[in-house]
Amino acid sequence: MLLRGRYEVTPAVDGAEGLAAVRAVRPDLLVLDLLMPVMHGFEVCQRLRADPELKGTKILISSSKSYRHDVRTAVEETGADGYIVKPFEVGEFNRRVDEMAGS
């Protein structure tokens, strides 16, 4: 994984597991895919923003969905802090994560 060795990483295989991991770990930054089983990334994002204890978690969505509508929905409607389209350049991804994580 691109972030291991630079950050503490807690992986999750689906949206529900990811939401539970955020509640347990309280990360500074969540890198979230939109297309996941069990719970879509938009729903994960909305639930985080609705939770007073977790609404400050920074969220970077990384998705192959590149339509403007998807980006607008992620940022304006569900409250994501950033969006990067896959496939991405590793350097660009690392730069975005570093900026959002405050490194």
Q: What is the pTM of this model?
A: 0.90
The CATH architecture one would assign to domain 15-101 is 3-Layer(aba) Sandwich (3.40)
Q: Summarize pLDDT for 28-67 with one digit per residue, the tens.
A: 999 999 888 888 899 999 999 999 999 999 999 999 988 8
Confidence grade of residue 103 (pLDDT, cut at 50, 70, 90): low
Backbone angles phi, psi at 70, to 5 degrees: -65, -45
If you average pLDDT over every residue of the chain, what do you get? 90
92 burial type by CB count under 10 A (0-12 exposed, 13-18 middle, 19+ buried): exposed
Q: So where are the chain's domains?
A: 15-101
